[in-house]
Amino acid sequence: MLTNLRNYFVEAKEEFGRVKWLSRDDTIRLVGVVAIITAAVAIYLGILDNVFVTIIKKAILRQ
């Protein structure tokens, strides 16, 4: 059992050594892209939410 656990961690460490990590500049650029897309989706959903709330309020008030 202990040997299997040890082998797992040794192999995991070796695997992390083979990973091609992004450069710092690429990471910063991609984080910026994700932040912009997230903000755009949040604004879009906020607008949709306000539209639907307005529609529902008008439908309730008409009854």
Any idea where the domains of the chain sit in the sequence? Answer: 22-63
Longest dimension (CA), the chain: 72
- Please provide the average confidence, as pLDDT, over all residues in the chain: 93
Residue 4: the pLDDT is 86
Residue 63: the pLDDT is 66
| Cβ(30)–Cβ(22) below 8 Å | yes
Q: List the Cα angle 47/52/56 in 5-degree steps.
A: 150
Cβ neighbors of 22 (< 8 A, separation 6 or more) are: 30
Compute the average pLDDT of residues 24-51. Answer: 98
d(C-alpha 17, C-alpha 21), whole Å: 10
Q: pTM to 2 decimals? A: 0.66
The dihedrals phi and psi of 60, each to the nearest 5 degrees, come to -70, -40
